């Protein structure tokens, strides 16, 4: 909620000194009545959507006041979903799925990257959901990739992925002989035949 509301208002290296007149400590907390100190995000969650939030900041050595408008938090990773069929895409034995609470629960939380995406990730125009390579069904076209599990996908042939539908479209429309699939922060690079390559057709039939 905090990041979503301040998106486009705060800039890199801004120092937030107070929110709605309440001073912010160096550890990012504010005094909250007789209850002690809490993370400053509590002030944002208490505001109604559309209300104005006054922020005192230091920017480039100068003090100033800026206004943010409270916005709803659009989760990148959805909470538990009921009566919804799991979505997935299998290509050359690679199994892709959108990250969700139920997925994380099934793998006991996953990596710090996945956990951070669940708690703090927010939807943006360029990323509506986080797609992960959940596991690999062994085949001769994907030898060596079985070790890569629960890996967030960053791009296909250098193009960033917006959601599962976007990944499918980028894979199926590729005219290159091979697909280059990169995980987050380029930790792993997966190379498999593209749809125009007969190797992929044979692999998808197996």
pTM: 0.70
137-155 pLDDT, tens digit per residue, is 998 999 999 999 999 999 9
Report the alpha-carbon distance of residue 102 to residue 88 in Å, rounded. 14
Q: pLDDT at position 110, please?
A: 80
Does residue 1 carry a pLDDT above 60? Answer: no
Report the alpha-carbon distance of residue 71 to residue 183 in Å, rounded. 30
69-113 pLDDT, tens digit per residue, is 998 778 889 888 788 888 999 999 999 999 999 999 888 878 888
Mean pLDDT of 44-68: 93
Mean pLDDT of 41-65: 92
């Amino acid at each position: 909620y905090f990041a979503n509301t301040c998106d486009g208002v705060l800039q890199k290296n801004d120092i937030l000194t107070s929110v709605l007149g309440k001073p912010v400590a160096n550890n990012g907390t504010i005094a909250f009545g007789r209850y002690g100190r809490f993370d400053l995000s509590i002030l944002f969650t208490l505001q109604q959507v559309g209300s104005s939030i006054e922020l005192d900041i230091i920017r480039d050595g100068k003090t100033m006041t800026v206004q943010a408008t409270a916005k709803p938090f659009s989760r990148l990773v959805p909470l538990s979903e009921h009566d919804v069929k799991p979505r997935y895409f299998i290509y050359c034995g690679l199994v892709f799925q959108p990250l969700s609470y139920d997925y994380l629960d099934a793998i006991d939380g996953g990596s710090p990257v996945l956990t951070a995406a669940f708690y703090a990730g927010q939807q943006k125009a360029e990323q509506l959901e986080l797609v992960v390579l959940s596991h690999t069904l062994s085949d001769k076209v994907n030898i060596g990739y079985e070790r890569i599990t629960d890996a967030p996908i960053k791009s296909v042939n250098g193009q960033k992925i917006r959601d599962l539908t976007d990944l499918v479209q980028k894979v199926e429309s590729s005219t290159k002989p091979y697909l280059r699939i990169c995980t987050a922060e380029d930790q792993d690079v997966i190379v498999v035949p593209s749809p125009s390559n007969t190797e992929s057709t044979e692999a998808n039939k197996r």
